[in-house]
Structure 1
Amino acid sequence: MFMKKTIERNPNLINTAIQLHQLGEIQPDTYVLDVDTILKNARLILDEANKQGVELYFMLKQIGRNPDLAKLLIEAGFPAAVVVDFREAKTMMANHIPLGNVGHLVQIPTHLLREIMEYGTQYITIYSLDKLKEINQVAKELGITQKVLVRVVDEGDALYPGQYGGFELKDLSKYIEDFKKMKHIEIAGATSFPCFLQNTRKDILEKTNNADTILKAQNLLLDAGFPARELNMPSTTSVYTLPFIHELKGTQGEPGHALTGTTPMHAEKDLPEVPAYVYVSEVSHNFKGHAYLYGGGLYRRGNLKHVLFDQKGKRWQSTIKPLPEENIDYYLEVNEEEPVGTTAIMALRTQIFVTRSEVALVKGIQIGIPKIMGIYDSQGKYLRG
C-alpha cells in the first residue's frame, strides 16, 4: 500500500532495513521503525495543532504500544497518550506515561477502574449509564471528580463492526437527570469514531455523519448545563486534517498512523508526514512455482500488494497473493519463485498490536548511522538490544 511512497520519500529506511536483515541483526517478521522520522512527523503535527488550537493525544497501538517511543513523544511535546484498550493503558502506566483518554474504543473493565483512576487519566469515554455509575462510585471513593466524554451514535453514522456502542442521540436527553445525579463526574464533552474518512473516488477527505452527531450532542449537553466544551474528533489526525477539526469546532485529535506517515491519504499524496516503517521478511521456500515468505505481521485491512526483494544489492519487485480470510498468515505467498533467504521488504497499513511481529526501533537512519535502540514484541515488551 505504501511501497511507492516509501521508496520515493524514505529510501534510507528501506536500505537500513535490508542491511539489518542481511547482517542478522533482525529476523523475519520484524517491523523496522524509523524513530527520527517519527519524531519529525510528530513535531509537524504538534506545530499545526498549536496553530489550530487543537489538543492532541498520541495513539501507539498501530506500531506496537511501544513505551520507549511514547516517552520520546512526551518529550517532543505531547501531553498524554490515548489508549485503545485497558491492556494498553496498563503498558503506559507501567512506564509512567500520562493518560489522556481511556475507554474510547474499549471500555474499562469493572475491576480495573480503580487502578486506572488512581493512576489518573484526563478523560474516560463512556458508552453506558451503567459504566458511568461505576466510574462515579470509584471517583467518590478516591475523592476526585473524573472528567468523561460521552460517546454518541446516531442513524447514518459510520461504525465499524466490533466497535458498536454508545448513547443514541435520540435518547440522550433521557439521561440528563441521571448524569446530574453523578456528583463525582464532570460531563466534559462528546466523542465518536471515525469523524473523517477518505473518499477514494473523489480523492478528498470528508467528514462523516459522526462529526455532526457529536456537535448536536455537545449542544444538548451545554443547554442542559454541563461544561461539555470538548469535541474529541479522532480518525486520520494529521497536519492535513487538523484544519478540518478546527473548522468543525473540534478540540481534540488523536494522531496515530500520521506519526508514521501511513494514513490512507499518505499512500496517494505527498503529505507533510513521511512514511516511517517497513515490514521485513525473507523467502522461506518455493512450492509449485510460488515463493513463500515468513509471515506473522499481516493486518487484513493493510492492502498489502507489493514486495521489494534484495539479494546482496540486486533488487526487484513482485506482488503478494491475497490471503483468504480464514487462513493464518504463517506464510505470505508471492506469485513466482524467488531465491531462498532473499530479503523481502513490504510497506503496508498495519496494526502491530494484533500481530505476532517483533518491532525494531532504529535511530540514526537519516544520517547514515543506524543504531537499534531495542527490539520489542507486538505489545511493547522489551526483548533485546
Structure 2
Amino acid sequence: MFLPLLRRRNPRLIDAAVAAHRAGDLPPNTYVIDLDAVERNAATVAAEAGRLGLRPFAMTKQIGRNPDASRAIRAGGITHSVGVDLECSIAAAAGGLAAGHVGHLVQIPRRRAAEAAALGPLYWTVFDEQKAREAGDAATATGRVQDVLLRIVADGDRFYPGHEGGFPADGVVDAARRVDAIPGVRFAGVTTFPATLFDAGSGDIVSTANLATLTRARRALEAAGFEHVQVNAPGTTSTAALERLAEAGATQVEPGHGLTGTTPLHAVRDLAEDPAIAYVSEVSHVWNDRAYVFGGGLYVDPVLGDASTDALIVGPGEDAASVTALPVEMPAPSAIDYYATIPVAPGAARPGDTVVFGFRPQAFVTRAFTAGIRGLDTGDPVLEGLWSADGSKPLALADALGGLDALGGEGLR
C-alpha cells in the first residue's frame, strides 16, 4: 500500500535506489532509507511534541537499527531512543541516540541488567517487582538511582499475543510505593502498548482502552501524592496522534514508523511526514511466466491485514516512473522468504532487473541490509553505508577469505 505513496511523494528515492542497484553499489535485499526525509520527519515530530509538552523517544527497530538513520534522527531534534530490546538501545547509541527508555516491550534479561544500566537510560520499564530489583541492583552498581516505569494492565486492555504482562492497574498506587522502596530505583510513571491503533473501518487512529487505563492511573497516583508522573504512551505514533495523546495526559511518545512515513494512517491519508523507505531487490530468474525476486527482507508488517503488495520491475534503460506496478505473490508467513514471485508477460523481466517495493517494514526481524542515502533534495544522492539488519557492518568477503587462509588454505570440508 505504500508504493503509490512513494511514487507520488518521494519518487527521487525510487530513482536513486534503482540507479545505485544498477551501478552495483546496492545489493538486492536492501531497505533504502532517505536520510534527509528522516531528518525532516524527526524535526516535524520534535516540533509538534515540544508544542504539546511531550518528550519523543525514537524507535529504530523498523529501519534495522541503522546508525546513519539514528544520526539523521538526532539531527532532526530527537536526541534519545526507545529500545524495543537491549540490542536496539545499544545500536541506537552507536548512532548517537542516547538511551531514553529501555525494557519495553522486551524486558531486560537478568544477566544483562548491568549492560542496560551502563547506557544510563532515562527510564526503565519493569513488569514486576523482581525486574525492578534487578534494575535497582544494576543501577546501584553504577552509582545511580534509576527512574522506572511500571507496565500496567486493566480488564479490557488490548495486548498483542506474546506482549502480555504488567502490574494490575487497580493497584498501581500500592505498586508504585512498593517499587519506590526498592534500593536503586525510583518510581517515575506508567506505560502500556498500544495506546492508539489504526481503525480500518473509520480510516483513522483511535484510542485504545489502554490509553484510558493510563489516564486513570495518572490521576490515582497524583491523588495519592505522586508528583511529575510520567505517562509513556506508544503506538501508531505520528504528528497526527500527538494531540490526542497529550489530551489524555501522556508525557512521552515513541515515533517509529512515523519517522519513515509508514504508519497505517500514512497509507490512507497524506500526513506531515514524508515516506522515506523502500525495499530494493533483483530478479533472480524467470520460470513459468513468473519473475523470481530475491527475498530476505520480505516481512510486511501485518498491521494492515491482508493488504496486497505491489512492486516495480525496472529493466535496463527503463524509467521507474513509467513502469506499471505489478502484484507480488509473497511467500507465506510460514515459509522462508528466499524469493517472492511476480507474474509477468513473456520477455517482460530478465535476470538482474531491479525490483522496488514499498511496504511497511520491520527490518530488524529480517536478514536484509539497510542503506541510508543523502542528497536527494539536491539531486546529488550519496549512499552513506551498508548495514546488516541488526545495525552492524555486514561481513566482508575479504574477512571470509581471511578466515579460510587461517585454516591453512584447506577451506571447509
User: If the TM-score is normalised by the length of the shorter chain, which range does it land in?
Assistant: over 0.9
Alpha-carbon shift at residue 280 of structure 1 (Å): 0.6
Deviations 1:113-162 (A, max 9, x none): 12221330000011111101222223333332110111111122121112
In the alignment, the residues of structure 2 paired with residue 229 and residue 171 of structure 1 have an alpha-carbon distance, to the nearest angstrom, of 16
What does residue 215 of structure 2 align with? 215
CA 1:243–1:177: 2 relative to 1, 3 Å? closer
Contact between 2:180 and 2:187, CA under 8 Å: does it hold in 1?
Answer: no
Partner amino acid, structure 1, of 2:80: A
SS at match of 1:161: coil
Contact between 1:153 and 1:169, CA under 8 Å: does it hold in 2?
Answer: yes
Contact between 2:38 and 2:73, CA under 8 Å: does it hold in 1?
Answer: no
Contact between 2:36 and 2:72, CA under 8 Å: does it hold in 1?
Answer: no
What does residue 202 of structure 1 align with? 202
SS at match of 2:377: helix
Alpha-carbon shift at residue 67 of structure 1 (Å): 2.0
In the alignment, the residues of structure 1 paired with residue 179 and residue 224 of structure 2 have an alpha-carbon distance, to the nearest angstrom, of 10
Deviations 1:334-378 (A, max 9, x none): 133532222111001001011111111110012210101111111
In the alignment, the residues of structure 2 paired with residue 372 and residue 20 of structure 1 have an alpha-carbon distance, to the nearest angstrom, of 8
SS at match of 2:125: strand
Contact between 2:60 and 2:92, CA under 8 Å: does it hold in 1?
Answer: no
Q: Is 2:14 the counterpart of 1:3?
A: no
In the alignment, the residues of structure 2 paired with residue 8 and residue 27 of structure 1 have an alpha-carbon distance, to the nearest angstrom, of 25
Q: Is 2:312 the counterpart of 1:308?
A: yes
Alpha-carbon shift at residue 74 of structure 1 (Å): 2.2
| Among candidates 311, 326, 333, match of residue 334 of structure 2 | 326
Q: Is 2:355 the counterpart of 1:344?
A: yes
In the alignment, the residues of structure 2 paired with residue 75 and residue 318 of structure 1 have an alpha-carbon distance, to the nearest angstrom, of 37
What does residue 268 of structure 2 align with? 268
- RMSD (CA atoms): 1.9
Contact between 1:61 and 1:88, CA under 8 Å: does it hold in 2?
Answer: yes
CA 1:178–1:287: 2 relative to 1, 3 Å? same
Alpha-carbon shift at residue 184 of structure 1 (Å): 2.8
SS at match of 1:137: helix
Q: Is 2:343 the counterpart of 1:335?
A: yes
In the alignment, the residues of structure 2 paired with residue 233 and residue 177 of structure 1 have an alpha-carbon distance, to the nearest angstrom, of 22
Greater CA deviation, 24-33 or 136-145?
136-145
Greater CA deviation, 267-276 or 108-117?
108-117
Deviations 1:289-332 (A, max 9, x none): 22210001111435451111211215222101142221111000
What does residue 98 of structure 1 align with? 98
Alpha-carbon shift at residue 93 of structure 1 (Å): 4.0
Greater CA deviation, 164-173 or 61-70?
164-173
Partner amino acid, structure 2, of 1:342: D
What does residue 37 of structure 2 align with? 37
Equivalent pairs: percent with the same residue? 36
Greater CA deviation, 362-371 or 219-228?
219-228
| Among candidates 367, 376, 384, match of residue 387 of structure 2 | 376
What does residue 191 of structure 2 align with? 191
Partner amino acid, structure 2, of 1:134: E
Alpha-carbon shift at residue 90 of structure 1 (Å): 2.5
In the alignment, the residues of structure 2 paired with residue 143 and residue 40 of structure 1 have an alpha-carbon distance, to the nearest angstrom, of 38
CA 1:198–1:96: 2 relative to 1, 3 Å? closer
Contact between 2:133 and 2:183, CA under 8 Å: does it hold in 1?
Answer: no
In the alignment, the residues of structure 2 paired with residue 298 and residue 175 of structure 1 have an alpha-carbon distance, to the nearest angstrom, of 42
In the alignment, the residues of structure 1 paired with residue 14 and residue 95 of structure 2 have an alpha-carbon distance, to the nearest angstrom, of 30
SS at match of 1:71: helix
In the alignment, the residues of structure 2 paired with residue 250 and residue 139 of structure 1 have an alpha-carbon distance, to the nearest angstrom, of 26
What does residue 408 of structure 2 align with? none
Deviations 1:202-228 (A, max 9, x none): 112110001011122222333343335
What does residue 146 of structure 1 align with? 146
In the alignment, the residues of structure 1 paired with residue 40 and residue 234 of structure 2 have an alpha-carbon distance, to the nearest angstrom, of 21
Contact between 2:40 and 2:76, CA under 8 Å: does it hold in 1?
Answer: no
What does residue 67 of structure 1 align with? 67
Name structure 2 gaps, 5 residues minimum: 397-413
Contact between 1:71 and 1:97, CA under 8 Å: does it hold in 2?
Answer: yes
Deviations 1:249-268 (A, max 9, x none): 11111111111111001111
The count of aligned residue pairs is: 385
Alpha-carbon shift at residue 29 of structure 1 (Å): 0.5
Q: Is 2:84 the counterpart of 1:84?
A: yes
In the alignment, the residues of structure 2 paired with residue 86 and residue 55 of structure 1 have an alpha-carbon distance, to the nearest angstrom, of 21
Partner amino acid, structure 1, of 2:314: D
Contact between 1:153 and 1:166, CA under 8 Å: does it hold in 2?
Answer: yes
What does residue 401 of structure 2 align with? none
Deviations 1:161-214 (A, max 9, x none): 121211122444553552242243221111111101111111121100010111
TM-score scaled by length of structure 1: 0.95
In the alignment, the residues of structure 1 paired with residue 165 and residue 249 of structure 2 have an alpha-carbon distance, to the nearest angstrom, of 24
What does residue 362 of structure 1 align with? 373
TM-score scaled by length of structure 2: 0.88
CA 1:96–1:310: 2 relative to 1, 3 Å? closer
CA 1:304–1:88: 2 relative to 1, 3 Å? farther
